[in-house]
Chains A and B, each alone.
Chain A
Amino acid sequence: MSTGIGYGDGDGVGPGEVLLGDATPDEQLALTADWGSARRRRSVGPRLGPTGWLRWTWRQLTSMRTALALLLLLALAAIPGSVLPQRATDPLAVNAWIERNPGAAPVLDELGLFEVFSAPWFAAIYILLFLSLIGCVLPRVAAHWRSMRAPTPPAPRRLDRLADSRAWTTGDPDVLATAEAALRADRWRVTPGQGSLAAEKGFTRETGNLLFHIALLLILVGVALGALFGWKGTVIVRAGNGFANTLTQYDSFSPGRLTAPDRLPPFSFTMTDFTATFERDGSQRGAPRSFAATLAYRSEPESALEARVVSVNSPLRVDGAKVFLVGHGYAPHLRVTDSTGRVVLDDTVVFLPQDGNFASTGVVKSPDAEPQLGLQGLFTPTAALNEELGPHSTFPAPDDPAVFFSAWTGDLGLDDGTPSNVFTLDTDGLEQIGLSAVRPGETWELPGGAGTVEFVGFDRWASFTISRDPGKGLALAAAIAAIVGLSLSLFVRRRRIWVRVDREPGTDGTASLDQYRVQVAGLTRSDSADVCAEVDQLVAQLGGPTDGEDER
């Protein structure tokens, strides 16, 4: 069993293990040799020929040394993913970083350092690690299976050479049977021998270790299932508006590789209400305290309408998907007319928060207005104005809301069909016609009779992440199995006890008839070794000497 069982290149000594007593380490090792190869695997070079090479490569890959190197390499590889902004979590930050570092950015980008966790080199490391894992664990499962059925090696002749050994003389002829019964009652696996017995316990250590490693593999399978068949999208919904779960309604949508985005579960909802509260006092003034969106939803187009409050940490589960509340903001209701008096806009407009006090920016583009109108707005829930900061907000709740507008006319460039961002106004080629602050209910007459802007009121919007991950159940089950396996592996110790009973030699040199010499010894390899206590207990059960009275 020296090759390919994972322990292969160890010298068979478990972590932190200590062997004592007069027996040489080799003698003691021999008694537990089947717990793992006792011999150091010689690293012979590959024999010529393709199979020789293959076998050699496989052995290298499945060695403990490689596993260790890959583990540390994976840790190292993950670091740039936490230092540099990542496209998957924050694409805007990536763009900003690239703009700030035009020299280094293209190289880093080429290396995939803005997408570390989906980069091929990152995948290569963990795939190699898991290949190594499979190559390591499968043979160990087989070896463990055999070891559980193989008898424990018989007691050596002289047990007193082991660290934890006791010896005494008794007149009880049944002492061996008593020992066997006591050990079996304590759930030891007993292998009887000639005038001796061998008992073993703690097979769950290796079982747990194997369970742990296999569970790691299953976690990976669960993650992969999610990446292949799951999907995730985000959408902003204004209070009073609705959402139906089809691809076109999402602001952004990322399907798994094998997801069919045209067959999303057909639920829908309307956000009937949204509330947010903020800390009013103390050093944490302005910190968010609660968000809640009330949704009226249907799990199928024909099913009944149900209501549910969705808040952070409390998602809506519907039709195999989950709806999470992830953000919110203000949507001022604006009514815009052009120079002819025609209403070109009468609706709530989503403004994006820019700071913790929810100063939020938004844009109105009216290419149909006469003349074409563009508005940049800054919504401040609690408005303030000073030299240093200009218009700003001093509190996130709408205590004193206002919108600061900047109005522009000219060709908005929306007719040529190039896509444009709804949250920014490209002012190149536009002419600024005025600035004004507007409070709810107020109307701003645009200079030169270009039209009017009325701040009718405001509402809230909320952003939702909607996702489905068919692999997460498996990943969770496997994670729990991993913890169980790991705990068994680290807290159970595999150990052996031997008992040997010989007739005591009489004074005349022949064996005496009614005196027996009893020897008991224990051995363990794992670090948390205290087979001592178990030897003590057995000795006590057999009527042997208590601690300190050893008569050897």
Chain B
Amino acid sequence: MTLAAWSNVFVYASMAMYALAMVAFAASFASARVGPAAMPTSTRRGADAPAKVGVDADSDDLAVVAAPRDSAAGVDGAGQQEDPAGLAAAARTRAQARGASGSRPDLPRPESTEPLPPGRRAGNIGMSLTWVAFALLVVALLTRAAWAGRAPWGNMYEFSLASAAAITGVFLVVSLRRDVRWMGLLVVMASLITLGVAVLLLYNDSPQLVPALKSYWLVIHVLAAIVAGGAFTVGAAATVLYLAADRAERDSAGTGPKALSGWRGSIRSANSGAAAWVAARIPDAASLDAMAYRVNAFVFPLWTFAVIAGAIWAEDAWGRYWGWDPKETWAFITWLVYAGYLHARATAGWRGRKAAMIGLVGFACFLINFFGVNLFASGLHSYAGV
């Protein structure tokens, strides 16, 4: 069997693991029954913000969606000591401060030594399976690289494999610092869809590169773009969930969209119901917003770098660093829209939902750039052997 065939085997094995992880995350998500708010968690900008909806202080399921994993700062530790009443209260104050500043989505549970509830166990299984799937995918990429003797992102098939790995990789890196199991389902689905498209539509059995790609800039520029793509995806997942949580919070505070009659009204109330269902299983809107911002703020300089590295490469390959080729144009559009997102977050009247919408538009532009331009537009960049 050739290394390429081995690589394919690893890709299939990885996809199987992703599918299992998806089932586990779905089970975890579905079984996370959470009641109405009993305890305000992080509040935004003082007491005037609506209290967090959906975490029941008496339900172990809180831990499912929100227990912080890192005990480095002693928060978990405090929760496990003998006198939960006093110490946990102090810890809570600190955790509020920290959680609210975006570092931990929610509160620790003093009872976290008790047996794990089913939802949480499924979430843990999902995380482990995701690690395994990721490791298999990395092995697949490495085998592919060894077989081809070059970086494993030389055509659309390989771009897509690497992108799936990047999406999961960014998610897993974030998961080392905070509990993001609630995002697992979306992330694993995104990775699996990317892999499916790669295997079914884009498979390419050539180790060779077209001459335009033979450059060390392939490693630098494309790697930066792929990692940025992974982070854009994770940021967009957090943004979508933020919008759901925000809708639920507005609905329960009575500031949501007004009820309507007729079919539009049914859609609206269905949306409210769905948002409330989802919101009960994820951190509060403020934390999600902060998380989405962090990921996007991390990715923006990286994307800027990817675009500039592409310009340097284009200068070497085609004699101009910028030529408004469709790929370049969409990279620029994506960059502008994300710059708009960062701006919106500092502009009165644009924070929150409107900024989030701009962020999602930016992600759509990124997808158009990554897939649409290669498949539909003809330009210098459409060489990559679909």
Contacts and interface: CB of A to CB of B under 8 A. Distances in A.
Interface of A: 7, 9-11, 13-16, 18-21, 24-25, 40, 64-65, 67-68, 71-72, 74-75, 78-79, 81-82, 86, 88-89, 116-117, 163-164, 223, 232, 279, 282-284, 287-291, 311-315, 322, 324, 326, 465-467, 469, 472, 475-476, 479-480, 482-483, 486-487, 490, 524, 527-530, 532-533, 546-550
Interface stretch (B20-28, B180-188, B200-208, B254-262): B200-208
Interface string B80-121: 000000010011001011101111000000000000000000
21 contacts: A15-B345, A16-B294, A18-B42, A18-B44, A18-B101, A18-B286, A74-B336, A81-B324, A89-B323, A287-B206, A289-B210, A324-B317, A466-B319, A467-B319, A486-B300, A527-B101, A527-B102, A529-B102, A532-B94, A533-B73, A549-B90
A548 B215 CA distance: 55
B319 A284 contact: no
B312 A527 contact: no
B201 to A, nearest CB: 14
Interface in B185-221: 204-206, 208-212, 214-215, 217
Interface string B274-310: 0000000000001001100110011011001100100
Interface string B47-62: 0100000000000000
Contacts of B294: 16, 527-528
A465 B319 CA distance: 7
B385 A287 contact: yes
A151 to B, nearest CB: 26
Interface of B: 42-46, 48, 73-74, 78, 87, 90-91, 94, 96-98, 100-103, 204-206, 208-212, 214-215, 217, 286, 289-290, 293-294, 297-298, 300-301, 304-305, 308, 311-313, 315-326, 329-330, 332-333, 336-337, 339-340, 342-351, 358, 365, 373, 377, 379, 385
Contacts of B90: 548-550
B97 to A, nearest CB: 5
Contacts of A315: 316, 319
- In this complex, the member of A19, A65, A74, A313 whose beta carbon has the largest number of chain B beta carbons within 10 angstroms is A313
Interface of A is mostly: mixed
A198 B188 CA distance: 47
A547 B318 contact: no
A79 B333 contact: yes
Contacts of A68: 340, 343-344, 347, 350
A322 B312 CA distance: 14
Contacts of A529: 101-102
Given A311-B211, A312-B211, A527 B297 contact: yes
Contacts of A25: 45-46, 48
Q: Kindly name the residue among A10, A116, A469 whose own CB sees the greatest number of chain B CB atoms within 10 A.
A: A10
A10 B316 contact: no
A287 B97 contact: no
Contacts of A490: 297-298, 300-301, 342
B242 to A, nearest CB: 11
B212 A313 contact: yes
A164 B102 contact: no
A164 B45 CA distance: 14
Given A82-B377, A483-B308, A71 B340 contact: yes
B304 A486 contact: yes
B293 A527 contact: yes
Contact of B94 (A314, A467, A547): A547
6 closest A-B pairs by CB = A15-B345, A284-B206, A324-B319, A465-B319, A82-B329, A75-B336
A315 B320 CA distance: 12
A532 B300 contact: no
A467 B48 CA distance: 61
A30 to B, nearest CB: 13
B324 A86 contact: yes
Contacts of A223: 322
Nearest to A40: B348
Nearest to A479: B308
Nearest to B347: A64
Contact of A19 (B46, B87, B365): B46
A479 B335 CA distance: 14
Looking at B289, B297, B379, the one whose CB has the most chain A CB atoms below 10 A away is: B297
Nearest to A88: B324
A78 B332 contact: yes
A550 B94 CA distance: 10
B10 to A, nearest CB: 20
A79 B365 CA distance: 10
A67 B97 contact: no
Contact of A75 (B315, B318, B340, B377): B340
A18 B104 CA distance: 13
Nearest to A163: B97
